[in-house]
Structure 1
Amino acid sequence: MTRLFILLYAGVLTVLFLAWYIHGAVLKQRAAADRARVFEEAHGGGARLVAGELDAAPRDDRDQVLQTLRGRFAYPLEVILLADLPKSVHQQISDAGDVAYFHPEGEREVVVAALSNGTEAVRLGPFPDYQLQSIEESIGGWMRLAATRLESISPEERQVALDKIQQQFKFPIDVARQPDVPAQTRRQFKSGKDVVFFMQGDDRWFAATPLPGGSEVFRCGPFPSFEQIEQKAATTMVALVLLLAAIAIALLLRPIARQLRHVENAAKSIAAGDLSARVDERRVRSAKPLAQAFNQMASRTESLVRTQREMLQAVSHELRTPLSRMRFAIDLIETAKDEKERHQRLESLDAATEELDELVGELLSYVRMETAEPQLNCEHIALQEALDVLIPKHSALYPSIHFYVNGNAVDEPNTILADRTGFYRAIGNLLSNAGRFAKSQVLINAESHNGLITVDVDDDGSGIPKSERARIFEPFVRLDDSSNGHGAGLGLALVKRIVAQHGGSIDVSTSLLGGCRMRTTWPGEVRTDSILNEHTARNVG
């Protein structure tokens, strides 16, 4: 999960960084393009007016006209050769007709307008920043020039002149009455300003200069305005982030999806009946917890299905023997000659019933342990106390076998931390198994080491061959396959399951008595009070 988080987090940071970088580049490019548009529209007409004045002047008077025009502009005005302009500017002039805007290296923006001789151009600029006063200064030159043209003609010819001037500009121009401009603008005229830049109407910008007589003004506008670059850039930014995020997430999720496909294939294999299918955890590092949980589930499922199959086999095979005995006993009861023989047949039937009950109990216990999570109620159990209960019971079941405890194995008594029912059942099964195969004696020994208690159950029987020792802990395995064998071969399987639930272990070896030794290991603690100090070797049977 941590690896997946770091992977996705790094991807998100990468997306945000790329989006920020691209957003800055796009914003800068769009702002530059919009600035060029505004400068071309705002100053292109003025450049055309100046070019027209110079074209109309005689060649010998051009310098004087140029000097006069310079006095009307607040920024440089000069005539340059077209050949001195960059090729890109020539292309702009060719595309736009006669005007181009460009940004000379190391200077602010300028506007050029080609003269009619085809070899020269008028250059206006560099322009000041777009502050209010600077705007008035930058547009004042050509507004004064246009107003001068309107002063020298009659009112009847004025409209024709306005139409000609309008052709030079990309925004409206007209002659308006002074009451049509804001009162603040009129007050500025009275204070001596001849060009005023003002806002009117729906937040649009205009400029005006008074005409002689004081009743009219030459008005330009609304001027081209800068686009809402930030708003459009924000929209672009959002779209860009979403696009990059989609690409990044797709790239990040692709290996994860490939890893999850391994889990999917394993699930399909299990669904098809291959219960041994597992997910290779090395190939699904990003989804390793999922793979581990899946493998645990698959192992549990395989165990449950195997248990069910074994149960079916046990029901069909193991139950057949006691049922046959019961049926045979019933038949014998009907043919009994006297009451004594009849009583013997009933005892045989009762024994077969007990065997069947024991068998069913073992089956149910094994199924319960295999199919359900362990519910352990652990407590401290004194080993000697448990043996005092279990040994007399098994001594009665196997009266010819001598059960005893080796008290010299430990100097201090042992207490085992375990579920009482499970512990009694496990040790009881071991004692029963030893009593069944022993010749004459069964020895119980206990030792403590590093907080663990080992309990050994030794018998003097024929022992278990090494080749068979691994099999005896499997369910439904009996080394004596005779029809007289008791149980379903679940005793040691139950012991192994109980010990494993407690975090212990069980193994088989050769006993000092010559038979089999079953050693179980349990969690425990060493206590100071004495329990196993009554006899060095205590005879319980």
Structure 2
Amino acid sequence: MTGTEPGEATARERSQGLARSLFRVSLPRWRGGRYSLSKLFFNFYLLAMGSFVAIAFTADFVISTAQRGITDDYARRFMRGTITLIEDELFRQPRSTWQKKIKQLDEKFSYRLNIVERITLDAILKPQQVLKLDAGDIAIDHDGDIMYHRLGNSSQVLVVGPLASNRNPELKDRLPLEVRLRLLTWSLTGLIFGIALWFWVRPVWRDLEAIRQTARDLGDGDFEARSPPARSQLFATLSETMNGMAERVQKLLATHRELSCGISHELRTPIARMRFALEMLSATDQPAERERLWEMMEDDLDELDHLIDTSLTYARFEREAPEPHFSSVRFANWLLDEVDSVRLLGRQLEVTVDTSNLPDDLNVDLDRKAMPYALRNILRNAFKYAGHKILVSAEVIDERILIHIDDDGIGIPPEEREHVFSAFTRLDRSRDRSTGGYGLGLAIARRVLELHGGTAIADAAPLGGARFTLAWKVQQ
């Protein structure tokens, strides 16, 4: 019972294939290969570990510098007893034998012992350490990890160190304990971090690869491609956004194809009539006939103008739902005014408005620009098919306002009641010029009701014809 041409499905498939071909030609093809999981993992690993090591070394340097005075005091207290015992042992010996004695003592310690002249240390020690040395305290050379202590009032100085094991010539073949501990710590840290990073990078890589593949399919013209649900929250929003974009593009292309096919089909009839009228106009000299042909062509021009205006309105609603601007109206008065504004189009029809079921002084929120457009389209449709009577009634159910438009026409078969709200859909019996439209009025009405968070439905009317019901919330 629909107005679909026999070859319309085939033409639509050819149009869809042509659109995909044009996109394949016009859009640059993505030639990139697959993302390498190992490359992604190592890039993340090197970046993260490098940053972590740099932060650790920087923090270690800052902390060690800040605590140097504390560690120096601790080292002096720790070594003061040993240095004092060595000093007492030397004082028991003649000063001429101190070098021999210190060599004997040196063999008993794991770090070196030596005696040097005081004057040789001015170029080695910092001024602060020189003052400590002359005051009888222990001076520390941080660069060499060596301690200096002046032996009494003599010009000779006891040299203890280097104290670090890595500077001890006897332990050159052994890795220092500190270095071994650091290597072990960093190795375990790197291993644990690598395992954790792997379990984090793998789902990220899968999501990234899935999004890349979806983008490539879309670039190749497959607008049915969708990104699977993301495994990680990192790309969940991106995946949803891409799918929303793909659905929007697919919908826009479908609307474009629908409008192109529908408008091109609708344009044929008025253009053919105008061509026929022009041929008849050139073949007749009778004023009455020429006047009739001119009126016919003016009607066809009005029909073309109305078709373009309606098509642009439908395209605007399909492309992007306009932002509704709701305002509160006294609903009974508003409904009466809207019906009266199109009552003349009903010719000799009896058009009745019943607001008796509405509460007194009912205010309803609606878009004062869009909702009248929807209501008038439904009324025009009723004017086309009604036999003698049209009844417009309203009621409130569950905080929703319902407008019923009933006619006593031929009605709509149950299997067609949902289909009539699709664009460019008309029943076969509406093909004649007196009642035939473009199949866009009901589609636009439903879009307007969806804009209000409501719906438009078709059913059987108590009068015997069709009932159209517009429903939305009283308060938005």
TM-score, normalised via structure 2 length:
0.68
In 2: Cα distance, 1:133 partner to 1:410 partner: 98
Q: Distance in 1 between matches of 2:361 and 2:396?
A: 9
Distance (Å, rounded) in 1 between the aligned partners of 2:285 and 2:380: 36
> Offset at 1:492?
0.7
Give the drift of 1:501: 0.6
Cross-structure match for 2:365: 417
Structure 1 pair 461–282 and aligned structure 2 pair: CA distance change class (3 A):
farther
CA distance in 2, matches of 1:521, 1:437: 22
| Alignment pair present for 1:219 and 2:158 | yes
Task: Report SS of the residue matched to 1:418.
Answer: strand
- 1:174 corresponds to which residue? 115
Aligned counterpart, 2:471? 521
1:55-94 Cα deviation digits (max 9, x unpaired): xxxxxxxxxxxxxxxxxxxxxxxxxxxxxxxxxxxxxxxx
Quick one: percent identity of the two aligned structures? Answer: 26
1:269 to 217, 242, 245: 217
Structure 2 counterpart SS, 1:318 = helix
Task: Tell me the residue number matched to 1:398.
Answer: 346
- Bigger mean CA offset, 301-310 vs 136-145: 136-145
Change (3 A) 1:495 1:283: farther
C-alpha distance in structure 1 between counterparts of 2:119 and 2:438, whole Å = 117
Q: Which moved more, 1:260-269 or 1:331-340?
A: 260-269
**Residue of structure 2 in register with 1:447 after alignment:** 395
Aligned 1:178-197 pairs, distance under 5 A: none
| Structure with the greater alpha carbon radius of gyration | 1
Q: How does 1:200-239 map to 2 (within 5 A)?
A: 204-207=146-149, 219-224=158-163
* 2:138 aligned partner: 198
The answer (yes or no) to whether the contact 1:447–1:455 under 8 Å persists in 2 is yes
CA distance in 1, matches of 2:226, 2:135: 89
User: Quick one: which amino acid aligns to residue 322 of structure 1?
Assistant: P
Which residue number in structure 2 is paired with residue 101 of structure 1?
none
Q: How much has 1:252 moved relative to structure 2?
A: 2.5
Once the 2 structures are TM-superposed, how far is the Cα of residue 470 of structure 1 from its aligned partner? 1.9
Deviation for aligned residue 1:476: 1.0
Q: Distance in 1 between matches of 2:141 and 2:312?
A: 93
How many residues align? The count is: 388
Structure 2 CA distance, aligned partners of 1:186 and 1:423? 100
By how many angstroms is 1:235 displaced?
12
Question: 1:142, 1:161 → 2: CA distance?
Answer: 10
RMSD of aligned C-alpha atoms? 4.4
**Residue 65 (structure 1) aligns with:** none
Alignment of 1:497-512 (within 5 A): 497-512=447-462
SS at match of 1:514: coil
Paired residues of 2:391 and 2:407 also in contact (CA < 8 A):
yes
Distance 1:187 1:404 in 2: 117
8 Å CA contact 2:116–2:157 kept in 1: the answer is yes
1:17-416 correspondence to structure 2 within 5 Å: 132=76, 135-141=79-85, 151=94, 170-174=111-115, 176=117, 198-199=138-139, 204-207=146-149, 219-224=158-163, 248-249=196-197, 251-281=199-229, 283=231, 287-412=235-360, 414-416=362-364
The higher-RCO structure (CA 8 Å, 6+ apart) is 2
The alpha carbon displacement at 1:309 in A equals: 0.7
Q: 1:171 to 1:341 in 2, by over 3 A?
A: same
Deviation at 1:405, TM superposition (A): 1.3
The one-character-per-residue Cα deviations of 1:391-427 (angstroms, maximum 9, x if unpaired) are: 3454422313221112333353543321122111101
Q: Deviations over 1:471-511 (max 9, x none)?
A: 11111111126253533211111001011011111111111
**Structure 1 residues 304 and 409, CA gap change in structure 2 (3 angstroms):** same
Give the distance between the partners of 1:180 and 1:279, measured in 2 at CA.
74
Instruction: State the SS of the aligned residue for 1:463.
Output: coil
Q: Which amino acid aligns with 1:138?
A: T
Contact 2:148-2:157 at 8 Å conserved across structures: no
Say if 1:442 and 1:177 are closer, same or farther in 2 by CA, change over 3 A. closer
Counterpart for residue 53 of structure 1: none
- Aligned mates of 1:200, 1:457 — CA distance in 2: 102
- Using the TM superposition, name which of 472-481 and 291-300 deviates more: 291-300
* Structure 1 pair 267–216 and aligned structure 2 pair: CA distance change class (3 A): closer
Query: What is the CA distance between 1:334 and its match in structure 2?
Result: 2.0
Per-residue CA shift, 1:177-217, capped at 9, x if unaligned?
899998987887xxxxxxxx73277784134656xxx8675
Distance in 1 (alpha carbons) for counterparts of 2:319 and 2:355:
39
Deviation at 1:316, TM superposition (A): 1.8
* C-alpha distance in structure 2 between counterparts of 1:410 and 1:158, whole Å: 120
Q: How much does 1:171 deviate?
A: 2.0
The answer to whether the Cα contact below 8 Å between 2:204 and 2:231 also exists between their aligned partners in 1 is: no
Deviates most, 493-502 or 410-419 = 410-419
TM-score, normalised relative to structure 1: 0.60
Kept in 2: contact 1:452–1:524 (CA 8 A): yes
- TM superposition shift of 1:241: 7.5
Flag the 1:460–1:174 CA change in 2: closer, same or farther, 3 A: same
Structure 2: how far apart are the matches of 1:305 and 1:494?
18
* 1:451-488: CA deviation from partner (whole Å, max 9, x where unpaired): 32100111111111111122111111111262535332
Structure 1, unmatched stretches of 5+, are 1-14, 28-128, 189-196, 527-541
Structure 2, gaps ≥5 residues long: 1-47, 61-72, 123-129, 168-175
CA 1:355/1:445 → structure 2, altered by over 3 Å: closer, same or farther? same
